A and B are shown apart, each in its own frame.
Chain A
Amino acid sequence: MSSSSIRAGTSSRILWLTVPSLVWFAVFSVGPLVAMFVIATLKWKGLLYEPTYIGLGNVTKVFGDPTFHAAVRNSLIQVAIAIPVMIPLAFMLGYHLNTKPRGYRILSVFYFSPGLISISMTGMIFYGVLSPNGGVNGLLSAVGLDSAATAWLADPATALPALIAIDLWRGVGWTAVLFAARLASLDGEVIEAAQMDGAGRFRTMWRIAFPMVKDYVRTLTMLQFLWTLFTSAALVLLLTKGGPGTSSTTLSYLVYAKAFSQRDLGYSQVVGVVLLLVGIAGMFLIRALFRTRKSRTPKEDTR
């Protein structure tokens, strides 16, 4: 409000200052995104060849390909497990962190630390941990469970679950720290009043605190959903290359693999478009889910 007078007094000529960043954004972000739709209509065998236009030819090819079906299934499994586990756990841990329990500084340093480690470093850490001679199997044999040991990343039954476990390993704590930061900014009086009224811990957390930060939970759910869906390519590339067979091929990895190892750019970009559409659909779904729950909650915040 205080800024309205200076804002109104400024002519919009000053908006020329935004032009460099808009141009930059258009050239390197919007342009490539639009180009994706064009490449999806081309027959293009690798970056050094001349492309030819084939219209929807790639689409038919992609939708008839069992590998694509496997990728859709794997991606859906990945987000359908990772997100519903990650968000409630992170919220509860974040809530706990915000009550400043004993040792909370140590807790928050640990929860925070996967956020510092890049995806390629995470990949290398778990390459060691999950390799046949690695930490998990070593631990299993130390407690006499040799029979449960397996080549986690080379076994079709465990490759995808292992990748999901890594998503959770890095995502839960980091998201918890974000929730804690948000909860810390809340008005404590409401919480205090609820506790005076004799509301239990669990009830206070879910019935009072949760509705107060619901918009934020929704935003983080969307972001984690998008990150999980889109960025799985790097971890898959580093750890399983989509295998064995297609057991850990996700949509995002398929985009990468078709372009760089199997040299079919049109195919790759059709999958890219599908990925984008799945992302948008998922965002609408998350939004709808949070809306219905909201109407059932008696003490909602007005927003």
Chain B
Amino acid sequence: MKWRKGGPLATVLSWVYVLILAAPLYYLVVSALKTNIEIFTRPFSLPAKWLWENFGTAWETARLGRALLNSVLVSGVAIVLTLLLAIPAAYALARTDNRLSKLITGTFSAGFLIPPFAALIPTVVLAIQTGLFGTREFQMLFLPASALPLSVLLLVQFMLTVPSSLVESASMEGAGHWLLLTRVYVPIAMPGVVSVAILQLLTFWNEYLFALTITGTAPDVRTVQVALPTLVSDATNLGVLAAGTVLTVLPVYVAYSLLNRRMQEALTAGAVKG
């Protein structure tokens, strides 16, 4: 036993925080099955009558089906594009060590620090000028750019683990860059590729402000993140809103429960490489 366990205070505090985290989530789930009146009068008790129709109402009012489809489409195309751009770049950076490659790595390191929000308004201007304002296509092109710095840096780390002997013997047999990349580097760096894919898919899926201001709120193109808040009005039905939120958060939690450990690795890797 290397690390001594915490005292009773640490134990209590760590579970108090779990309670603080869990309370809004529990409240969300029980509210999803209640009327506004019951939400207010009996906020934390189980619903007296389980109002399943809240889910149907949310689904139809916010047109969540279409929105989910848009989100899948945007995130899917964006992740493929991200990997197509990042993998060759990472391969090149992992195989060269000179001033130019250091400069490129430095550029991506600096880019990683700049939050995309900083350039939100000029990006909207860019979307208008390219005629892609109000389309999903702009998001598909833009999201990879915001994801590139971290993706490239992470992939380089993984590609540096390729044993040099392997590369030498492959080169000796006449393998060019294409064969080396597809037969040696990508298979060995596969855990990194998977991590980057999971990490960025989650980022793309959850993106909100750019989707709101560039793709917009038109029901046929909007993503699920944009669709859900449209349920808020002067007379919001809190039960329907909660039901919609549950429906929207669910895919991410299902993915998390399936890939629990992998996902945690991917997301921590993303922040560890600072």
- On A, residues with C-beta under 8 Å from B are 2-8, 10, 12, 14-18, 20-22, 24-25, 27-33, 35-36, 39, 47, 92-93, 95-103, 106-121, 123-129, 131, 133-135, 138-139, 142, 169, 172-173, 177-178, 181-182, 188-189, 191-192, 195, 201, 204, 216, 219-220, 222-223, 226-227, 230-231, 233-234, 237-238, 252, 255-256, 259-260, 265, 268-269, 272, 275-276, 279, 283
Judging by beta carbons under 8 Å apart, are B208 and A119 in contact?
A: yes
CA distance A116 to B255 in the complex (A): 10
B192 to chain A, nearest CB (A): 15
Contacts of A5 in B (CB 8 A): 164, 168
Judging by beta carbons under 8 Å apart, are A39 and B274 in contact?
A: no
Judging by beta carbons under 8 Å apart, are A32 and B126 in contact?
A: yes
Contacts of B163 in A (CB 8 A): 2
Contacts of B149 in A (CB 8 A): 25
Chain A residue, CB-CB nearest to B30: A135
B70 interface residue, CB < 8 Å from A?
Answer: no
Q: Is the interface of A mostly helix, strand, loop or mixed?
A: helix
B92 interface residue, CB < 8 Å from A?
Answer: yes
B258 interface residue, CB < 8 Å from A?
Answer: no
Judging by beta carbons under 8 Å apart, are B25 and A113 in contact?
A: yes
CA distance A123 to B206 in the complex (A): 12
CA distance A93 to B272 in the complex (A): 17
Given A15-B92, A133-B40, answer yes or no on A177-B268 (Cβ-Cβ < 8 Å): yes
Judging by beta carbons under 8 Å apart, are A12 and B100 in contact?
A: yes
Judging by beta carbons under 8 Å apart, are B100 and A97 in contact?
A: no
Judging by beta carbons under 8 Å apart, are B268 and A47 in contact?
A: no
Chain A residue, CB-CB nearest to B268: A181
Chain B residue, CB-CB nearest to A204: B4
B227 to chain A, nearest CB (A): 9
Q: Is the interface of B mostly helix, strand, loop or mixed?
A: helix
Judging by beta carbons under 8 Å apart, are A113 and B21 in contact?
A: yes
State which of B25, B86, B121, B146 has its C-beta within 8 Å of the C-beta of A125: B25
B218 interface residue, CB < 8 Å from A?
Answer: no
Chain B residue, CB-CB nearest to A10: B95
Contacts of B177 in A (CB 8 A): 14, 17
Of the A-B pairs whose beta carbons lie under 8 Å apart in the complex, a sample of 14, sorted by A's number, is A12-B101, A17-B177, A18-B152, A27-B145, A31-B126, A33-B118, A100-B5, A106-B18, A108-B264, A113-B25, A128-B31, A169-B20, A173-B21, A256-B120
CA distance A135 to B30 in the complex (A): 11
B22 interface residue, CB < 8 Å from A?
Answer: yes
1/0 per residue B223-234: CB within 8 Å of A? 001101101100
CA distance A95 to B205 in the complex (A): 31
B248 interface residue, CB < 8 Å from A?
Answer: yes
CA distance A113 to B17 in the complex (A): 13
Interface residues of B in 22-44 (CB under 8 A from A): 22-25, 27-28, 31, 36, 39-44
State which of B22, B43, B107 has its C-beta within 8 Å of the C-beta of A22: B107
CB contacts between A and B, total, < 8 Å: 305
Judging by beta carbons under 8 Å apart, are A124 and B229 in contact?
A: yes
Judging by beta carbons under 8 Å apart, are B267 and A115 in contact?
A: yes
B15 to chain A, nearest CB (A): 8
State which of B5, B31, B116, B144 has its C-beta within 8 Å of the C-beta of A101: B5
Judging by beta carbons under 8 Å apart, are B121 and A269 in contact?
A: yes
CA distance A106 to B21 in the complex (A): 12
Could you say which of A24, A101, A219 has the most chain B C-beta atoms within 10 Å of its C-beta?
Answer: A24
Judging by beta carbons under 8 Å apart, are A17 and B28 in contact?
A: no
State which of B141, B164, B242 has its C-beta within 8 Å of the C-beta of A6: B164
CA distance A135 to B123 in the complex (A): 38
Chain B residue, CB-CB nearest to A128: B238
CA distance A273 to B274 in the complex (A): 24
Chain A residue, CB-CB nearest to B273: A219
CA distance A20 to B144 in the complex (A): 12
State which of B3, B100, B248 has its C-beta within 8 Å of the C-beta of A99: B3
Given A101-B14, A125-B28, A191-B2, answer yes or no on A120-B101 (Cβ-Cβ < 8 Å): no
CA distance A34 to B231 in the complex (A): 36
